[in-house]
Structure 1
Protein backbone atom coordinates (compact mmCIF):
# COMPACT_ATOMS: atom_id res chain seq x y z
CA UNK A 1 0.00 0.00 0.00
CA UNK A 2 1.11 3.54 -0.58
CA UNK A 3 3.41 4.95 2.05
CA UNK A 4 4.25 1.63 3.69
CA UNK A 5 7.88 0.81 4.34
CA UNK A 6 9.52 -2.41 3.25
CA UNK A 7 10.11 -4.61 6.30
CA UNK A 8 12.35 -7.12 4.51
CA UNK A 9 15.80 -7.42 5.99
CA UNK A 10 18.82 -9.05 4.33
CA UNK A 11 20.07 -12.33 5.81
CA UNK A 12 23.58 -10.84 5.98
CA UNK A 13 23.93 -7.74 8.10
CA UNK A 14 25.40 -4.85 6.12
CA UNK A 15 24.28 -6.15 2.72
CA UNK A 16 21.55 -3.53 2.25
CA UNK A 17 23.67 -1.14 0.18
CA UNK A 18 24.97 -3.86 -2.13
CA UNK A 19 21.50 -5.31 -2.70
CA UNK A 20 20.08 -1.87 -3.40
CA UNK A 21 22.82 -1.20 -5.96
CA UNK A 22 22.20 -4.64 -7.50
CA UNK A 23 18.48 -3.84 -7.75
CA UNK A 24 19.07 -0.58 -9.63
CA UNK A 25 21.65 -2.16 -11.96
CA UNK A 26 19.15 -4.82 -12.99
CA UNK A 27 16.35 -2.26 -13.35
CA UNK A 28 18.63 -0.27 -15.65
CA UNK A 29 19.47 -3.37 -17.73
CA UNK A 30 15.77 -4.18 -18.07
CA UNK A 31 14.85 -0.57 -18.85
CA UNK A 32 12.52 -0.41 -15.84
CA UNK A 33 12.02 2.67 -13.67
CA UNK A 34 11.33 1.52 -10.11
CA UNK A 35 8.73 3.25 -7.99
CA UNK A 36 5.32 3.19 -6.40
CA UNK A 37 3.71 4.59 -9.53
CA UNK A 38 4.89 1.60 -11.61
CA UNK A 39 3.06 -1.65 -12.13
CA UNK A 40 3.66 -4.72 -10.00
CA UNK A 41 4.87 -6.47 -13.13
CA UNK A 42 7.54 -3.84 -13.77
CA UNK A 43 8.79 -3.74 -10.18
CA UNK A 44 8.45 -7.52 -9.79
CA UNK A 45 10.50 -8.25 -12.89
CA UNK A 46 13.49 -6.71 -11.16
CA UNK A 47 13.06 -8.85 -8.05
CA UNK A 48 12.62 -11.97 -10.16
CA UNK A 49 15.80 -11.26 -12.11
CA UNK A 50 17.70 -10.61 -8.87
CA UNK A 51 16.57 -13.97 -7.52
CA UNK A 52 17.55 -15.83 -10.69
CA UNK A 53 21.03 -14.30 -10.66
CA UNK A 54 21.61 -14.94 -6.96
CA UNK A 55 20.56 -18.59 -7.36
CA UNK A 56 22.85 -18.97 -10.36
CA UNK A 57 25.74 -17.49 -8.36
CA UNK A 58 25.07 -19.85 -5.44
CA UNK A 59 24.85 -22.87 -7.73
CA UNK A 60 28.16 -21.98 -9.39
CA UNK A 61 29.77 -21.52 -6.00
CA UNK A 62 28.56 -24.94 -4.82
CA UNK A 63 29.61 -26.56 -8.09
CA UNK A 64 33.13 -25.20 -7.64
CA UNK A 65 33.33 -26.59 -4.13
CA UNK A 66 32.88 -23.25 -2.47
CA UNK A 67 30.57 -22.18 0.24
CA UNK A 68 27.68 -19.79 -0.10
Structure 2
Protein backbone atom coordinates (compact mmCIF):
# COMPACT_ATOMS: atom_id res chain seq x y z
CA UNK A 1 0.00 0.00 0.00
CA UNK A 2 1.35 3.41 -0.96
CA UNK A 3 1.80 6.14 1.63
CA UNK A 4 -0.50 9.16 1.53
CA UNK A 5 2.08 11.31 3.30
CA UNK A 6 3.47 12.81 0.12
CA UNK A 7 3.72 16.59 0.05
CA UNK A 8 1.85 18.45 -2.66
CA UNK A 9 4.77 20.89 -2.86
CA UNK A 10 7.93 18.79 -2.42
CA UNK A 11 10.20 21.66 -1.33
CA UNK A 12 7.72 22.57 1.44
CA UNK A 13 9.32 19.92 3.66
CA UNK A 14 11.95 22.36 4.95
CA UNK A 15 9.31 24.99 5.77
CA UNK A 16 7.16 22.44 7.61
CA UNK A 17 10.19 21.22 9.53
CA UNK A 18 11.04 24.79 10.55
CA UNK A 19 7.43 25.35 11.63
CA UNK A 20 7.62 22.21 13.78
CA UNK A 21 10.61 23.58 15.69
CA UNK A 22 9.04 27.05 16.06
CA UNK A 23 5.76 25.66 17.41
CA UNK A 24 7.58 23.26 19.74
CA UNK A 25 9.63 26.12 21.16
CA UNK A 26 6.50 28.28 21.62
CA UNK A 27 4.63 25.59 23.58
CA UNK A 28 7.67 24.38 25.52
CA UNK A 29 8.21 20.96 23.97
CA UNK A 30 11.74 19.69 23.44
CA UNK A 31 12.28 18.14 20.00
CA UNK A 32 14.70 15.18 20.16
CA UNK A 33 18.02 16.12 18.58
CA UNK A 34 18.51 12.63 17.15
CA UNK A 35 15.16 12.75 15.33
CA UNK A 36 13.73 9.78 17.24
CA UNK A 37 10.26 10.60 18.52
CA UNK A 38 9.60 7.24 20.21
CA UNK A 39 10.36 8.65 23.66
CA UNK A 40 8.13 11.72 23.21
CA UNK A 41 4.92 11.67 25.24
CA UNK A 42 1.77 11.14 23.20
CA UNK A 43 0.28 14.26 24.75
CA UNK A 44 3.26 16.36 23.55
CA UNK A 45 3.18 14.89 20.06
CA UNK A 46 -0.55 15.58 19.82
CA UNK A 47 -0.15 19.13 21.09
CA UNK A 48 2.61 19.75 18.58
CA UNK A 49 0.63 18.33 15.66
CA UNK A 50 -2.53 20.15 16.70
CA UNK A 51 -0.77 23.49 16.94
CA UNK A 52 0.93 23.00 13.58
CA UNK A 53 -2.42 22.14 11.99
CA UNK A 54 -4.06 25.18 13.61
CA UNK A 55 -1.32 27.43 12.23
CA UNK A 56 -1.59 25.94 8.73
CA UNK A 57 -5.37 26.45 8.73
CA UNK A 58 -4.93 30.07 9.83
CA UNK A 59 -2.44 30.64 7.01
CA UNK A 60 -4.83 29.14 4.46
CA UNK A 61 -7.75 31.23 5.78
CA UNK A 62 -5.69 34.41 5.47
CA UNK A 63 -4.75 33.53 1.88
CA UNK A 64 -8.36 32.81 0.99
CA UNK A 65 -9.54 36.02 2.64
CA UNK A 66 -6.95 37.95 0.65
CA UNK A 67 -8.19 36.43 -2.61
CA UNK A 68 -11.83 37.11 -1.73
CA UNK A 69 -11.18 40.81 -1.09
CA UNK A 70 -9.65 41.38 -4.52
TM range (shorter): 0.7 to 0.9
Q: Which has the higher helix share?
A: 2
Aligned length: 60
More RCO (CA 8 Å, sep 6+): 2
* CA RMSD in angstroms, aligned pairs only: 1.7
TM-score, normalised to structure 1's length? 0.76
Moved over 3 A (4+): none
Q: Structure 1: how far apart are the matches of 2:18 and 2:62?
A: 22
Higher CA-based Rg: 2
Gaps of 5+ in 1: 1-6
Gaps of 5+ in 2: 32-36
